[in-house]
Structure 1
Amino acid sequence: MDKYKKSKRNSIFAWTIAMILAIIWLIISLLPFIFMVLNSFKEKFEMLSKGVFQLPEKLNWSNYTEVLSGGFLNYFKNSVIVLAISLVLLLFIAACASYPLARFNFKLANPIYSLIVACMSIPVHITLIPVFKMSKTAGLYDSIWALIGPYIAFAVPISVFILTSFMREIPREIEESAEIDGCGKIRMFFSIILNLSKPGLATLAIYNGVNMWNEFSFAYTLTQSSENRTLPLAIWEFQGQYSMNTPMIMAVLTLTLLPMIIMFIVFQDKLVKGMTAGAVKG
């Protein structure tokens, strides 16, 4: 009985510490967001004359209306187009590459897989000049289409690495049963493997989607005109335009961050399933 009470006390103590740490981390994570949203509704000099975490005297929606009328929607449209096309192509390429690496036995499987994983160590910045020259040669420079190729290329290694590990956990008995029924490899891939890999694909979509949405280096290098630039560059350009108007910058940041927050809230269950499903057989 004493051993049971001691174990229960230790469990309660551990959960209490975990909850305290979780609350502290929640506060640390929320403070920048609260700071950003509160100050986005303030007047130009209200933030300087009063506390930064003090509620605004009135909700100043003019910051948002001015940002939206200043070309923000065009940046947003470009980001959505680049993100949608890049993610669809990335997930298809990663799935097609991961399937043979995970389910087929051939001599070059391990060398190819090792080479793909090794590509994860290539720094993005050392490729800016070669990619810039390739975009100029291909006639894609200063267009949103110039961003899709680099975004996919640098996301493929980590995507194949994660998705291959995920597909290896799918029971082979499912494939054997399908083969007995006359199912070919191509049909098996599209009808069975892709369906069972949806949690992993959703995880990759969220992970790579956030990275593509916030990417700055390639967007800055491969685009020049404002009509072809994406949201990270909108923040940069608005910061130069409204350098003395901090609430306006906060409004731009809030509008840029809002789609990612909504996407995470909607798909957070799929993200958790994708992170844990690979560890569960069957």
Structure 2
Amino acid sequence: MNKKFRFPRIGVPLLAIIWLGVTTIPFIFMVVSSFKSQEETYTSSVWALPAHFYWGNYAAVLQGPFFTYFRNSVFTVGVSVLLITIISAMAAYVFARVRFALNKTLFGLVVAGMIVPLHATLVPIYLLTRNLGFYDTAFALLGPYVALSLPVSIFILTEFMRQIPRELEEAAQLDGCSPFRIFWRIFFPLSAPGLATVAIFNGIGLWNEFIFAYMLTSTAEHRTLPLAIWDFMGQYASNIPSMLAVLVLTSLPLIVAYAFGQERVIKGMMAGSLKG
């Protein structure tokens, strides 16, 4: 029996360590290489440590329009995540608790939206954005980001809210609470782990989104960080350390956010998958 269970006890941690190395080594390489000078990049080994930490790459990046891109990303992602969280929570409450004839049908249509190919929406969204006058504005990305993120967000929160005890809802109804007050006072606070999961999941995805940002904006005044990387790649076509410095600065906010929110994401996913 001991031999039978030896592999799971040893193999799982070993696989976890291997996966940690696979995901961590590229980031370490990126950080270390960003501190090399341009000359050192071509004269030393790729895996060699820098002879001295050269901060000129970061200085060159920060002196450019990096903070403009950063501000645009914070605004776009922040507003989008806020709208996604509120709208998906309200819709999930309706699907999870309100009984009406088309409940399952509409929920099925929402879930079906998860399988719509992203590239199939590019031309319609581009034309709609131009016709509405939002092209290359601060609001150009809000509509596509919110709309395309709602199906999976509603799905996650609906399954989460179905696990909330119905006795709480019935007690609130006896006290004379309206459906909106029941949602706002009971379901919204109790869904905090699920809401955190949705916020962090969508925040990470939208922070790295490229195709819509590239298609719906054209000037640096309204572009986001993924397009900053694109522009810096053109500006530093042969300056690899500077390109890596851009990548490091762009990824730092995500690393910090996930470091503080990973526990909430895991708890939210687990709670939404368990039966009450």
TM-score with structure 1 setting the length = 0.95
Q: C-alpha offsets along residues 221-247 of structure 1, whole Å, 9 cap, x if unaligned?
A: 110111110000000010011010000
1:259 aligned onto 2:253: yes
1:187 aligned onto 2:187: no
Q: Are the equivalent residues in 1 in contact too, given 2:58–2:245 (CA < 8 A)? A: yes
1:110 to partner: Cα distance: 0.6
Matching residue of 1:144: 138
Task: Please state whether the residue corresponding to 1:228 is helix, strand or coil.
Answer: coil
Task: Please state whether the residue corresponding to 2:141 is helix, strand or coil.
Answer: helix
1:81 to partner: Cα distance: 0.2
Matching residue of 1:38: 32
- List runs of 5+ in structure 2 lacking aligned partners: none
Whole-Å separation in 2 of the counterparts to 1:192 and 1:71:
45
Q: Are the equivalent residues in 1 in contact too, given 2:36–2:50 (CA < 8 A)? A: yes
Distance change in 2, residues 1:260/1:221 (3 Å): same
Q: C-alpha offsets along residues 12-47 of structure 1, whole Å, 9 cap, x if unaligned?
A: 442111111111111111111011000000000312
1:15 aligned onto 2:9: yes
> Which residue identity lines up with residue 209 of structure 1 in the other structure?
G
Whole-Å separation in 1 of the counterparts to 2:265 and 2:144:
25
Which segments of structure 1 move beyond 3 Å, counting only runs of 4 or more?
9-13, 279-282
1:205 aligned onto 2:196: no
Matching residue of 2:118: 124
> Which residue identity lines up with residue 260 of structure 1 in the other structure?
L
Q: Are the equivalent residues in 1 in contact too, given 2:37–2:241 (CA < 8 A)? A: yes
Q: C-alpha offsets along residues 151-187 of structure 1, whole Å, 9 cap, x if unaligned?
A: 0000011111111111111111111122222222111
1:134 aligned onto 2:96: no
Task: Please state whether the residue corresponding to 2:101 is helix, strand or coil.
Answer: coil
1:95 aligned onto 2:89: yes
1:128 to partner: Cα distance: 1.5
1:10 to partner: Cα distance: 4.2
1:260 to partner: Cα distance: 0.3
CA RMSD of aligned residues (A): 1.2
Whole-Å separation in 1 of the counterparts to 2:274 and 2:176:
28
Q: Are the equivalent residues in 2 in contact too, given 1:170–1:281 (CA < 8 A)? A: no
1:59 aligned onto 2:53: yes
1:84 aligned onto 2:83: no
Matching residue of 2:244: 250
Whole-Å separation in 2 of the counterparts to 1:219 and 1:47:
31
State the percentage of identical aligned residues.
Answer: 48
